């Protein structure tokens, strides 16, 4: 065994392990992060509605949601902390060379994390002892810092896709940094809005789907109706805008990151009049089994079938993204799910417009019941497109992921262990939230009729 070959084998297997580790932990955190970004706004809407309209059900929703948020927020915080460690543990060469540009956005994010953690604590633990006004005001900084936090993290990620605002010195380190150019790089705009809308869609559809399931099981009370209506309205408003932003993102990528675009659309041969492939497997230089619409891809990119689109044949082999089929199907999955969710929003809007009421038909509720999982699928698929599509680069066209990875051994073991740990975390959190819901339902049965808002506290509560 020659040692250079061994080394090479080692470091490439290390690379795969590190990428899997990063992708898995990010993919887990991002779902909780969506809740961190969008759940506070839903709570605030419910609380505001509850207090303003004396709507006991909405108020109870807000209160119950905040119990669930306490658990979700904690898991979001610890899994986010793991990510901060991982940047250094998995990609030390990247941090060494680019930490002072990459970190610019994260430094700002620290402020939002603080504000979010502080005010979420005040909100969650302050239900009973703060005045209603003070309590509602406490939610406002949470909503703002959710948006700000998402902006900062996404600006860092966008900069990895479109690195700008710096020069490299002789040793390959960063100099002449322009912080504003780093923050507002070419990709920040669409990535940020796309992610923000995704967070509201994921949270909204998941919450709505929980209450839709309850209604399908026959619990059609005011509480369940409000629980479905508020989040679904928010998600339905976000859905059409999301299509527009996603479309903008795709067009920008065709210009700025042609290798990613060629990968996600499976364009083997560049040129005009490109076929748009829906589904299919990318092998041997062509797409098998997909539905091809001639000229549509060029039309989507440049509003004319004459638009020239870069193909993989124009990109050096060692700069092409891997796993083309996965990339292509991920993109199609996101777009497909996004379109279906948009149609669900249209259905909801038409029904509301005609009857001024929530459609309670079985099929509508069933559609809402699956929308939550569907939104998460779109979210994960989108991140696969972004991250795998950027490969082999960690910093697009500047640094390769293979140059960034740690030489430390044993990452596969860490990865296996992390999977088990996170699955355990996920299961426990899910069981807890289910147990909470059961408990609230049990308490509900002892409740006075719901049309008496602000019933005086009862004896048993004082002792409970």
Partner 1 sequence: MSTADVCAAILWIGVTLYAIFGGADFGAGVWDLLAGGGQRGQSVRGQIDRSIGPVWEANHVWLIFVLVVLWTAFPTAFSAIMTTLYIPLALAALGIVLRGSGFAFRHALPGPVQGTASRVFGVASVLTPFFMGTVVGAVASGNVPAAGDGDPTASWTGFLPLVTGALFVAVAAYTAAIFLVRDSGAAGDQDLRDYFARRALIVAVVAGVAAVLGVIALRQDARFIYDGLTSWPGIALVVLSGICGLAALVLLVADRNRGLRVAAVGAGVAMIWGYFAAAFPYILPTSLTISDAAGASATLTEVIVVFGVAAVLVVPSLILLYVLSQRSALEAYSTSSEVTSPRQ
Q: What's the rounded Cα separation, in Å, for the pair 451 and 327?
A: 52
Six-digit token pair at 64?
A: 């119950």
* Size of site (CB under 6 A) for ligand HDD: 30
Closest approach of ligand HDD to the CB of residue 400, in Å = 18
User: Would you count residue 10 as binding partner 1 (CB under 8 A)?
Assistant: no
Following DSSP, what letter does each residue of 351-366 receive, concatenated? HHHHHSS----HHHHH
> Least distance (Å) from ligand HEM to the CB of residue 388?
4
8 A C-beta contact, residue 339 and residue 347: no
Q: Look up residue 390 and give its two tokens.
A: 């950027």
Told to check if 399 binds ligand HEM by CB under 6 A, we report no
| Helices and strands (H and E) in the chain: how many | 14, 8
> Toward ligand HEM, which CB reaches closer, 259 or 401?
401
Residue 266's region, left for phi above 0, alpha for psi from -120 to 50, else beta, is left
Cβ proximity to ligand HDD, 42 vs 335, nearer residue:
335
Dihedral of CA atoms 142, 146, 151, 153 in degrees, nearest 10, equals: 120
Site for ligand HDD in 13-52 (CB under 6 A): none
Q: Is 201 in the site for ligand HDD (CB under 6 A)?
A: yes
Question: If phi over 0 gives left and psi between -120 and 50 gives alpha, with beta otherwise, what is residue 218?
Answer: left
Site for ligand HDD in 220-249 (CB under 6 A): 242-243, 246-247, 249
- Among 26, 82, 150, 300, the residue binding ligand HEM under the rule CB under 6 A is 26
290 three-class SS: coil
Select from 88-96, 194-202, 209-217, 345-353 the region that touches ligand HDD (CB under 6 A): 194-202
Which residue, among 387, 422, 373, has the nearest Cα to 25 in the 3D structure?
422
Enumerate residues 6+ apart whose C-beta is below 8 A from 463.
none
- Quickly tell me which residue has 């048993």 as its tokens: 460
Residue 184's alpha-carbon distances to 164, 166, 192, 331, 376, in angstroms, are 9, 13, 10, 25, 27
Shortest distance, CB of residue 304 to ligand HEM, whole angstroms? Answer: 33
The minimum distance between CB 260 and ligand HDD, in angstroms, equals: 6
Give kind and range of the element (H or E) at residue 167: strand 167-168
| Window 76-115: residues binding partner 1 (CB under 8 A) | 77-82, 84-85, 87-89, 92-93, 95-104, 106-111, 113-115
Residue 188 interacts with ligand HEM (CB under 6 A)? no
Residue 201: name its binding partner from ligand HEM, partner 1, ligand HDD, none (Cβ under 5 to 8 Å by kind). Answer: ligand HDD
CB of 15 to ligand HDD, least distance (A): 21
Q: Which of 384, 385, 399, 411 binds ligand HEM (CB under 6 A)?
A: 384
Segment 78 to 117, residues that bind ligand HEM, using CB under 6 A: 91
Our CB check for ligand HDD shows the closer of 57 and 234 to be 234
- Upstream peptide bond of 392 is cis (omega within 30 degrees of 0): yes
- Dihedral of alpha carbons 300, 301, 306, 311, sign: negative
Q: Does 423 bind partner 1 (CB under 8 A)?
A: no
Q: Does 22 bind ligand HEM (CB under 6 A)?
A: yes
R_g of the chain computed on alpha carbons: 24
Stretch that binds partner 1, among 36-44, 263-271, 276-284, 407-415 (CB under 8 A): 407-415
Report which DSSP code applies to 275. P
CA distance 215 to 225: 8
The answer to whether residue 388 forms part of the interface with ligand HEM (CB under 6 A) is yes
Residue 278 three-state SS: strand
Question: In this structure, what token pair is assigned to residue 407?
Answer: 């030489």
Q: Applying CB under 6 A, does 19 fall inside the site for ligand HEM?
A: yes
Q: Which of 141, 149, 246, 372 binds partner 1 (CB under 8 A)?
A: 141
Tell me how far apart the alpha carbons of residues 177 and 184 are, in angstroms, rounded to a whole number. Answer: 13
Tell me the closest approach of the beta carbon of residue 320 to ligand HEM, in angstroms.
13
Task: State which residue, 119 or 383, has the beta carbon closest to ligand HDD.
Answer: 383
From start to end of 5-149, where are the E strands? none
Task: Name the site residues for ligand HDD (rule: CB under 6 A).
Answer: 161, 187, 191, 194-195, 198, 201-202, 242-243, 246-247, 249-250, 253, 260, 334-335, 337-339, 341, 375, 378-379, 382-383, 385-386, 389
Task: Name the site residues for ligand HEM (rule: CB under 6 A).
Answer: 19, 22-23, 26-27, 30, 91, 153, 156-157, 160, 380, 383-384, 387-388, 390-391, 394, 401
């Amino acid at each position: 065994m020659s040692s250079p070959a061994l080394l090479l084998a080692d470091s490439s297997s290390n690379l795969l392990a590190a990428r899997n580790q990063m992708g898995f932990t990010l993919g887990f955190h991002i779902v909780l992060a969506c809740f961190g970004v969008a759940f506070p706004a839903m709570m605030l809407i419910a609380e505001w509605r509850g207090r303003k309209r004396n709507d006991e059900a909405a108020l109870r929703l807000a209160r119950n949601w905040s119990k669930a948020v306490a658990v979700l927020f904690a898991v979001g915080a610890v899994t986010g902390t793991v990510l901060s460690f991982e940047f250094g543990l998995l990609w030390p060469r990247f941090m060494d060379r680019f930490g002072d540009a990459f970190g610019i956005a994260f430094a700002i994010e620290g402020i939002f994390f603080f504000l979010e953690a502080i005010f979420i604590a005040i909100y969650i633990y302050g239900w009973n002892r703060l005045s209603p006004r003070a309590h509602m005001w406490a939610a406002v900084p949470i909503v703002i810092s959710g948006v700000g936090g998402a902006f900062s993290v996404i600006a860092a990620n966008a900069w990895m896709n479109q690195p700008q605002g710096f020069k490299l010195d002789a040793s390959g380190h960063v100099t002449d940094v322009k912080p504003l150019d780093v923050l507002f790089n070419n990709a920040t705009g669409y990535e940020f809005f796309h992610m923000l809308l995704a967070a509201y869609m994921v949270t909204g559809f998941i919450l709505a789907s929980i209450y839709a399931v309850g209604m399908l099981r026959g619990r059609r009370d005011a509480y369940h109706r409000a629980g479905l209506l508020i989040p679904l309205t928010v998600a339905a408003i976000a859905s059409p805008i999301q299509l527009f932003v996603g479309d903008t993102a795709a067009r920008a990528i065709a210009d700025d990151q042609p290798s990613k675009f060629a990968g996600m659309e499976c364009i083997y041969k560049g040129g005009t009049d490109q076929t748009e492939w829906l589904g299919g497997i990318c092998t041997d230089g062509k797409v098998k089994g997909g539905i091809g619409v001639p000229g549509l891809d060029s039309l989507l990119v440049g509003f004319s079938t004459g638009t020239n689109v870069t193909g993989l044949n124009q990109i050096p082999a060692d700069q092409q993204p891997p796993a083309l089929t996965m990339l292509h199907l991920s993109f199609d999955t996101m777009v497909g799910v996004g379109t279906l969710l948009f149609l669900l929003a249209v259905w909801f809007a038409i029904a509301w417009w005609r009857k001024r009421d929530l459609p309670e038909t079985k099929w509508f509720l069933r559609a809402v019941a699956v929308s939550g999982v569907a939104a998460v699928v779109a979210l994960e698929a989108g991140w696969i497109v972004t991250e795998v599509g950027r490969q082999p680069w960690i910093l697009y066209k500047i640094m390769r992921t293979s140059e960034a990875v740690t030489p430390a051994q044993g990452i596969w073991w860490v990865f296996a262990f992390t999977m088990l740990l996170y699955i355990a975390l996920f299961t426990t959190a899910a069981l807890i939230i289910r147990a909470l819901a059961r408990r609230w339902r049990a308490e509900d049965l002892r409740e006075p009729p719901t049309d008496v808002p602000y019933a005086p506290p009862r004896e048993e509560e004082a002792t409970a």
